[in-house]
Amino acid sequence: MTRQDGRAFDQLRPIKITTDFVKFAEGSCLIECGDTKVLCCASVEERTPPHVAEGEGWVTAEYSMLPRANRERSKRDVSKLKLSPRSAEIQRLVGRSLRAAVDMTKLGGHTVTIDCDVLQGDGGTRTASVTGGFIALCLACRKLVERGDLASSPVRHYVTGVSAGIVDDAALLDLQYSEDSRAQVDLNCIMNELGEIIELQGTGEGRAFSLTEQQELVRLCAKGNKELLNIQKQVLGGKF
Amino acid sequence: MTRQDGRAFDQLRPIKITTDFVKFAEGSCLIECGDTKVLCCASVEERTPPHVAEGEGWVTAEYSMLPRANRERSKRDVSKLKLSPRSAEIQRLVGRSLRAAVDMTKLGGHTVTIDCDVLQGDGGTRTASVTGGFIALCLACRKLVERGDLASSPVRHYVTGVSAGIVDDAALLDLQYSEDSRAQVDLNCIMNELGEIIELQGTGEGRAFSLTEQQELVRLCAKGNKELLNIQKQVLGGKF
Amino acid sequence: MTRQDGRAFDQLRPIKITTDFVKFAEGSCLIECGDTKVLCCASVEERTPPHVAEGEGWVTAEYSMLPRANRERSKRDVSKLKLSPRSAEIQRLVGRSLRAAVDMTKLGGHTVTIDCDVLQGDGGTRTASVTGGFIALCLACRKLVERGDLASSPVRHYVTGVSAGIVDDAALLDLQYSEDSRAQVDLNCIMNELGEIIELQGTGEGRAFSLTEQQELVRLCAKGNKELLNIQKQVLGGKF
Amino acid sequence: MTRQDGRAFDQLRPIKITTDFVKFAEGSCLIECGDTKVLCCASVEERTPPHVAEGEGWVTAEYSMLPRANRERSKRDVSKLKLSPRSAEIQRLVGRSLRAAVDMTKLGGHTVTIDCDVLQGDGGTRTASVTGGFIALCLACRKLVERGDLASSPVRHYVTGVSAGIVDDAALLDLQYSEDSRAQVDLNCIMNELGEIIELQGTGEGRAFSLTEQQELVRLCAKGNKELLNIQKQVLGGKF
Amino acid sequence: MTRQDGRAFDQLRPIKITTDFVKFAEGSCLIECGDTKVLCCASVEERTPPHVAEGEGWVTAEYSMLPRANRERSKRDVSKLKLSPRSAEIQRLVGRSLRAAVDMTKLGGHTVTIDCDVLQGDGGTRTASVTGGFIALCLACRKLVERGDLASSPVRHYVTGVSAGIVDDAALLDLQYSEDSRAQVDLNCIMNELGEIIELQGTGEGRAFSLTEQQELVRLCAKGNKELLNIQKQVLGGKF
Amino acid sequence: MTRQDGRAFDQLRPIKITTDFVKFAEGSCLIECGDTKVLCCASVEERTPPHVAEGEGWVTAEYSMLPRANRERSKRDVSKLKLSPRSAEIQRLVGRSLRAAVDMTKLGGHTVTIDCDVLQGDGGTRTASVTGGFIALCLACRKLVERGDLASSPVRHYVTGVSAGIVDDAALLDLQYSEDSRAQVDLNCIMNELGEIIELQGTGEGRAFSLTEQQELVRLCAKGNKELLNIQKQVLGGKF
């Protein structure tokens, strides 16, 4: 099967990460995966939500599409007076994925909010939000260490995310929109630097899939995540 | 490892399904999985949402916890003026899982809404909603056939759901709340009658998990789903 | 006039009260009045709203219909972002009725919230909510006494509620939906064990009614409430 | 018992009705009952809500307090994003009371909305809204007849409302706020010109009340309503 | 150009200010500018919002149209669950204009909220809200001084507002609705007693306007504001 | 007075306009005015709102800050369930300003929505939204002409916006945040290519201002707008 943009079945789209894209956030980057562009900003506040134990920190995420990030303009959430259920689902995924990487006792008393705003969407925005959000999180934690607010970075391991899917019965890595919109199966996989799984979400959109197919998709994601890990290491200069 | 209620690691909680629990819904059941109780009602309307193609049908789901379904009372969504993000995530999962089982052209012009209201929650409410929601869906489709609104049932295959998780590094099937609340890994798996996957959601809550562990959890779910399938067949009398 | 279900004009529908229907609420029951089924849960919190004087307690109620409790599915309140005005009216009635029965100084520092969720509605849901809510309230107060949180039950008297109405110019006790929907007059009456009135709401839906008719309806309600009182006493074992 | 303002136990506060208080509404009046001031505006639209049968009309009411109508400023409903439950209860009462007076087939195709906005509240705002709202409704219907939109007025009978209550165990007509706030029993009664009841709402706020007391309160209301009826007739010039 | 109501191009509509229109607000007036009628109420609370420095006071405004203040009935904000954007814009203007007149350190610890509710709208409601709101503000501050809550009035200077516009290429002072609705340019100007500008808002609704035209409109407003100032002085008895 | 960044009192910050910043919108640009960055996207829909006359078009604008566009993170509008009143005010200004430039009969049947999303805010975001929004609008109209949907561009004239203010009693053009936050007077001016005014908003934040000062500020804005006009012409290649 030939992919529209000529990629191999197991090839990522070109990745570009511009750190410090905005100047006020403690950490930020613009992550571009092909035509998908997500602005990830990490903001630090010196307070934690009520459910967090005294002396611990918290990491949370918010996700939103700009109204014209897609082929059709969509109404803003505020005009419908509700968070889009899809956004709710995604920001819970991003939040869980990034929290997994942080030692909350080391982050003591601080909340880091990762805002992932999709400027342009062409498939894979949720996994790009995780990969880019991790960069923003690390940069913000670094700033806390530089400022003397934290003794050392609370980040424990890398976190990357990528999707794979089955299109015309072929397993493909990193679906772009034109592939995603007709995929039979779509699977998102968030991993750490050891290739272990942090989050896994697979959906049979056109048909069910076998355990063998599921393993093939996870293996593709593992390959993609490994490459994303190397890019993260480069961007971050080899340390959190 | 000994489970609190004496179950084997790969044993489901007792399942009880009471069909036609309420009399107005086209299809309904109360599903009890141990102490988890979910009322599933299928309602049919003779119209479809705008995004559905002319002549096709639609299946959607809504999920909600009664305020005192849990150990602590929670505020109603309406008093916070927003759908709980967790409920949003779950009802999307239930909706996708049940839609997968339906031939929309056969359901032409009808919307079936599956309301899953948790009367008591003790872990596994989302997968119980899928398993019980499928029963309610079948009963409602049957009524449409009886009424002469449909020529034959649009249901194509069975759908069941169950969770598995890792607690104290041991893989266990069908976590109850006391296990779930301290699980390191939690995985939900929705399957059809061939043991193929429709939806898969795995989360490393305390730690990441290996591909081997992931496969072990899916295998446990496959076992549980097979048993749930038999119960569904019994309840439905062997036909959709 | 012959009633659809063969009842005498002054006869209640069969009443069934299942206590402890759910296990987490401090007090709960499922009350069934004919085909009307309301789940009543009493939840205790150790705090009171701002308007309550220091050292006093509070009792409040919430009322909601499940989406498919009725002949037609209705949208959830949260999807319309507002509490149904009918529910608002009803939950104020239930709250006032139950507050009347409680010595707030004896309940000091606690709030009891009575959630009345209608699983199936066939007329008389608001008065069933009062009658069942009172049982849940008593059970919750008992638990507070057992736990040692309260010295004695703050409940001062019984509270029951029932409706009567005029259908085809005949006064009938305890209207079911098929009667209620074509009633000319509808009257709800909440009483204590002395047959005194706590709340009275009468509505001329099809026509106005005379003072004589009003008195006849109240007398019918008094008869019904007396029978409900005996059932409450039986269920509660003769003490609050 | 001597009343604060020297009134007899069965004496209304001074009533003043200024018709056409605002110039755009099809009908309007400012009704003053002592210090209670409610602006009632009737607006006509040439369409009806979906639940109304083809060819019939509809009457509905909305009720609101201006933020500083009372001793304390209250927040606007919109800032809390919800209609006050008390307002919801009251506007349902006003709507039902006024609908009862209208022949919907004669109002064919029109909706009349009665807006009752309390400029100053000193007790009895809901019954003042009914009494004043009826005037606004009649004036609007007159305009429809004048315009040639209706052949004759659809109003069938007069509607007035007044409250009575028990204060210090004495039954009093037309409670003002200083009485209402310490009343043991509060009863609102809406009547037609024959002294028949359209709506009745009684609440034991401090204690329950006997059937005898209830009848005494209704009799007081009947007296007050008769006087209000005469004022309405005078204001309307003896015809609807 | 002859104006519909015979006014000269630089002539205000008749102004009538009724102070203490309602009795509970610390300060209130009904301001009538021709057929425009706005009820302005100033309410004092002994607390300030979080952004206000310790020991300082705060002044804020809210603006709303009653549903039938205009030619067409408009829905209440609460039924749309959002403040009308036009109201949001106007109440920000009123709040800024009145805050400018107050020495916040002298108002220490108090918030004054100016509610401007339009009973009837015929053009110029936002500037009438400023002119009338200032009266209500002064009366409330006086009451605070009388009560001994403040040593002296925190009001520093008078504030009046008026509009001017270009209709059929002619500059006119104080547009009424019939003029406003076809104005090419509309300009609102809030001034102090020295004729200095506090707020200026000009909009080319039908066409752009030159700097010369803009100055002519401001000069017209200055004349109108001077007359309004004299009325304010008279109403207030020559002192704040 | 020396400005922080060394600019002359009448000097604009550096302007950079990147057209087609996103690929799906019919027209888009990223406008940067110093550190202020606004993404402006024009979206075309083939329908118009109900208030628009048959055969005419419509132009509207929406404005929003990303949560971390500023020094402090602000909550998203949707989490507060209301559009920020400041955003409401601004998007009304942007909408009016751009509508003024369009011949609605030539735009027949189309709505153009200009989304202005502030990625980074450093003062002057509302005027940057107008200047950038105009570019996006022109590009979208061009596309409509290219597609054959419109015979010719409906844009009639250029529109630019800039602010000026008084800081330490000195009039300055194009305030950045550090100046804006301590300005005594702030004035925004939207102009066409003839230097005529479309919108004017002046606010005395610290003190009132004289007519002479007001004119000086408008003159400064005229100078700035002229320079912005030249940039617009260059970006657009000299035609709409």
What residues of D are in contact with residue E38 (Cβ under 8 Å)? none
Residue F1: the pLDDT is 66
Interface probe with F: pick from E187, E203, E205, most Cβ of F within 10 Å: E203
Percent of chain C at pLDDT exceeding 90: 97
Q: Using the beta-carbon criterion (under 8 Å), do D214 and C191 form an inter-chain contact? A: no
Alpha-carbon span D55 to D52, nearest angstrom: 8
Mean of pLDDT values over A56-75: 98
Residue E216: the pLDDT is 97
Mean of pLDDT values over F146-172: 97
For residue E201, is pLDDT > 80? yes
Most distant CA pair in chain C: distance in Å?
Answer: 55
Mean of pLDDT values over C165-193: 97
| Residue B190: strand pairing partners | B161, B199
- Per residue in A17-33, pLDDT (tens digit) is 999 999 999 999 999 99
Q: Using the beta-carbon criterion (under 8 Å), do C200 and D198 form an inter-chain contact? A: no
Residue F44: the pLDDT is 98
- Per residue in C122-139, pLDDT (tens digit) is 999 999 999 999 999 999
- Per residue in D199-224, pLDDT (tens digit) is 999 999 889 999 999 999 999 999 99
- Per residue in E208-227, pLDDT (tens digit) is 999 999 999 999 999 999 99
What residues of C are in contact with residue D83 (Cβ under 8 Å)? 82, 85, 88
Please provide the average confidence, as pLDDT, over all residues in chain B. Answer: 97
Which of C88, C205, C208 lies nearest to residue D89, judging by beta carbons? C88
Residue A209: the pLDDT is 98
- Per residue in C211-228, pLDDT (tens digit) is 999 999 999 999 999 999
Q: Give the three-class secondary structure for B155.
A: strand
For residue B170, is pLDDT > 70? yes
Q: Using the beta-carbon criterion (under 8 Å), do A83 and B81 form an inter-chain contact? A: no
Q: Give the three-class secondary structure for A41.
A: strand
Residue A188: the pLDDT is 98
Which of D28, D70, D81 lies nearest to residue E81, judging by beta carbons? D81
- Per residue in F50-85, pLDDT (tens digit) is 999 999 999 999 999 999 999 999 999 999 999 999
Q: List the subunits that have 3+ CB pairs under 8 angstroms with F.
A: A, E
For residue E80, is pLDDT > 70? yes
Percent of chain F at pLDDT exceeding 90: 97
Please provide the average confidence, as pLDDT, over all residues in chain C. Answer: 97
Q: Which residue has the tokens 């409903």?
A: D77
Please provide the average confidence, as pLDDT, over all residues in chain E. Answer: 97
| ipTM (interface predicted TM) | 0.95
Phi, psi of F74 (to 5 degrees): -110, 150
Reported as a pLDDT band with limits 50, 70 and 90, residue F139 is very high
What residues of D are in contact with residue C204 (Cβ under 8 Å)? 100, 196-199
Reported as a pLDDT band with limits 50, 70 and 90, residue D2 is confident
Which of C82, C203, C210 lies nearest to residue D96, judging by beta carbons? C203
Interface probe with F: pick from E84, E126, E211, most Cβ of F within 10 Å: E211
Dig out the tokens for E112 from the structure.
Answer: 């004054």
Question: C31: closest CA among C231, C233, C237?
Answer: C231
Q: Using the beta-carbon criterion (under 8 Å), do C208 and D200 form an inter-chain contact? A: no
| Residue F201: strand pairing partners | E201, F188
Separation of CA C131 from chain center: 4
Q: Using the beta-carbon criterion (under 8 Å), do A203 and B91 form an inter-chain contact? A: no
Which of D67, D79, D115 lies nearest to residue E67, judging by beta carbons? D115
Helix axes C85-99, C125-146, angle to 10 degrees: 50
For residue F151, is pLDDT > 80? yes
- Per residue in D127-179, pLDDT (tens digit) is 999 999 999 999 999 999 999 999 999 999 999 999 999 999 999 999 999 99
DSSP alpha helix (H) spans, B15-105? 77-80, 85-99
Q: Do residues F118 and F109 make contact, with C-beta atoms less than 8 angstroms apart? A: no
Q: Give the three-class secondary structure for F14.
A: coil
Residue C206: the pLDDT is 86
Q: Which residue has the tokens 């939900």?
A: B188
Interface probe with A: pick from F18, F20, F22, F36, most Cβ of A within 10 Å: F22
State the Rg of chain D over Cα. 18
Local structure of residue E209 (DSSP, 8 states): B
Q: Do residues D118 and E24 make contact, with C-beta atoms less than 8 angstroms apart? A: no
Q: B125 vs B65, B139, E27, F131, CA distance in Å?
A: 9, 21, 57, 53
State the nearest Cα–Cα gap between E54 and chain D, in angstroms.
23
Phi, psi of F121 (to 5 degrees): -115, 120
Reported as a pLDDT band with limits 50, 70 and 90, residue C1 is low
Reported as a pLDDT band with limits 50, 70 and 90, residue B1 is low
Positive/negative CA dihedral, B77, B81, B85, B87: positive
Mean of pLDDT values over E101-121: 97
Alpha-carbon span B64 to C77, nearest angstrom: 12
Give the 3-state DSSP-derived string for F147-197, with helices as H, strands as E and coil as C: CCCCCCCCECCCCEEEEEEEECCEEEECCCHHHHCCCCEEEEEEECCCCCE
For residue B240, is pLDDT > 90? no
Interface residues from chain E to F (CB-CB < 8 Å) = 81-83, 85-86, 88-89, 91-92, 96, 100, 187, 191-192, 194-205, 208-211, 214-215, 218-219, 222
What residues of D are in contact with residue C83 (Cβ under 8 Å)? 82, 85, 88
Q: Using the beta-carbon criterion (under 8 Å), do B78 and C73 form an inter-chain contact? A: no
Q: What is the DSSP string of F199-234?
A: EEEEEESSS-B-HHHHHHHHHHHHHHHHHHHHHHHH
Residue F238: the pLDDT is 85
Phi, psi of E76 (to 5 degrees): -65, 145
**Residues in CB range of D167: below 8 A, 6 or more apart:** D1, D175, D179, D182, D183, D184
State the nearest Cα–Cα gap between E234 and chain F, in angstroms.
23
Q: Do residues B111 and B58 make contact, with C-beta atoms less than 8 angstroms apart? A: yes
What residues of B are in contact with residue C62 (Cβ under 8 Å)? 67, 76
Between C113 and A4, name the one with better pLDDT.
Answer: C113
How many Cβ atoms from other residues are within 10 Å of residue E167's Cβ? 21
Residue E150: the pLDDT is 96
Q: Which residue has the tokens 């990491």?
A: A59
Instruction: Tell which phi-psi region holds residue B169, choosing left (phi > 0), alpha (psi between -120 and 50) or beta.
Output: left
Q: List the subunits that have 3+ CB pairs under 8 angstroms with A.
A: B, F
Mean of pLDDT values over D64-69: 98
Q: Using the beta-carbon criterion (under 8 Å), do E208 and F202 form an inter-chain contact? A: no
Reported as a pLDDT band with limits 50, 70 and 90, residue F2 is confident
Residue A238: the pLDDT is 85
- Per residue in B22-56, pLDDT (tens digit) is 999 999 999 999 999 999 999 999 999 999 999 99
Q: Using the beta-carbon criterion (under 8 Å), do C198 and D208 form an inter-chain contact? A: yes
- Per residue in C58-73, pLDDT (tens digit) is 999 999 999 999 999 9
Alpha-carbon span D202 to D209, nearest angstrom: 9
Residue C238: the pLDDT is 85
What residues of E are in contact with residue F205 (Cβ under 8 Å)? 96
Q: List the subunits that have 3+ CB pairs under 8 angstroms with C.
A: B, D
Q: Using the beta-carbon criterion (under 8 Å), do B115 and C66 form an inter-chain contact? A: yes
**Is pTM, for the whole model, over 0.90?**
yes
